[in-house]
Amino acid sequence: MATTSPSSMPQHQKKSLLLNNMFVILAALLVGLSRIAKSFEMIMLSRFLAGINSGVSMNIQPMYLGESAPKELRGAVTLTSASFTALGLVLGQVVGLREILGAEELWPLLLASNVVPGLIQLLLLPWAPESPRYLLIDRGDKESCICALQKLRGSHDLSSEMKEMLAEQAAVQGKTATGPWELFWNPAVRWQLITILVLSSAMQLCGNDSMYFYASYVFQEAGIPYDKIQYYIIGTGSCELITAMTCNLIIERAGRRMLVIGGYSLMAVWAVVFMVALSLQDRFSWMPYLSMACLFAYILSFGIGPAGVTGMIPTEILDQMTRPAGYMICGSLLWTNLFLVGMAFPFIVEGLGHFCYLPFFTVCVCTALYVSFFLPETRGKSLLEISEEFNKRNFKTQTCENSWTNLEDTKSTML
């Protein structure tokens, strides 16, 4: 059971996404009726179910999109998941305005509004084909794979793509789906796992979500009336949406490494400027405006690379048998670190004051350095080619040891 349970997620990606909508529908019903029932327990259970829906969707969607896309467009197609996540953030901010559903008496409808995308997916997803890689590699159904490819690609020549997938099938022949804990003891995916741990942790530990925590304070210090702040906060979500869409357009030209390195490097710069601006807030009248500019710049820098690329990396660097376990680790780290940062940030502010972004600055710098030294560029490469690149690093030590042994054997033979 330990080896087969994680495989149930990727092997039925479309089915999993369809069933996952039941969580959000039930969550909407609970919170929608909680006021009538006068039950806060219904609200808590509703948020728990909505969290399950979000966690499952954010893991399966990029995996499904990445496996279904051609390698030339894999980045752009997979990043549509991040773009629509940013769109959902903005729509949530808009719907939450006091003039729409943000009034006190309308909060049950506001919390239940997340059922709309769930219902849309429930209606449209059955028309989408299953992942061609799942059909060929997991099920061994070549005919269904070709039918799915034809439905996705139209009348294009499929011979080259089929050849790549058949090579992937041969590479994982005889392997079984790997459980999350098994990845930690598998030397064949050592550097892939380290990369996932670093990027998934940095996604939340970089402090981007904390900027939303600071937004109201920064806008208030800049002299914006309290009743107008909610409109400016929509601008923060809009920044992330604009950059996510921009990243979607340029990723196949700029590459994954440049976007991640550039994003975290810019975030490190803005973190320093933001801390300086906060420390000088009372000395110069224009400093609050610099803080506000840094807030937007930080979110823009996050959206242009780390926000979207991080979610697609497991699709590209792991094979068909280890990918689901990798996504489970990735998702677990994302939500765990989000919880930890949310709980710890008020204490960080209290302890470090205006220099509260120093830990986030350190995370951004270290992540940019790691990616520049250890993450190969995956743009335009087949999944098998990417695996071979990581294999060179995973088995580098073993190769060196073998070379040393062979050298000793040669010397002893000559003697």
Any idea which residue has 């179910």 for tokens? 49
Neighbours of 124 (CB within 10 A): 9
pLDDT at 397: 53
DSSP state of 174: T
State whether 251 and 162 are in the same domain. no
DSSP code of residue 138:
I
Pair (227, 157) in one structural domain: no
Give me the residue label for tokens 């320093």: 272
Mark whether 27 and 52 lie in a shared domain.
yes
How many domains is the chain partitioned into structurally?
2
The answer to whether position 403 is within a domain reads: no
- Using CA atoms, how far apart are residues 367 and 374, in angstroms rounded to an integer? 10
Domain membership of residue 243 (yes or no) is: yes
Domain shared by 165 and 223, yes or no: no
End-to-end CA distance of the chain: 55
- Cα distance between residue 103 and residue 105, in whole Å: 6
Sign of the CA dihedral with 173 first, then 179, 183, and 184 last: negative
Please give the residue range of the domain that contains residue 168: 132-174
Same domain? 243 vs 319: yes
pTM: 0.82
How far, rounded to the nearest angstrom, does the alpha carbon of residue 187 sit from its chain's CA centroid? 24
CATH code of residue 200: 1.20.1250.20
pLDDT tens for each residue of 355-406: 888 999 999 999 999 999 999 888 888 888 888 888 888 887 554 444 444 4
Asked if 139 and 120 sit in the same domain, the reply is no
- Is the domain of 242 the same as that of 279? yes
Are 231 and 164 part of one and the same domain? no
Cα dist from 388 to 55, 103, 392, 402, whole Å: 30, 56, 7, 19
Q: Are residues 252 and 334 in the same domain?
A: yes
CA distances from 314 to 13, 173, 176, 323, 337 (A): 15, 20, 18, 6, 18
Please name which of 313, 317, 357, 311 lies closest in space to residue 334, comparing C-alpha atoms: 311
Are 112 and 149 part of one and the same domain? no
Parts of the chain with a pLDDT under 70: 1-12, 221-222, 397-415
- What is the model's pLDDT at position 407? 41
402 within a domain of the structure (yes/no): no
Q: What pLDDT score does 262 carry?
A: 94
C-alpha–C-alpha distance, residues 379 and 260, integer Å:
13
State residue 191's pLDDT score: 92
Shared domain for 226 and 262, answered yes or no, is: yes
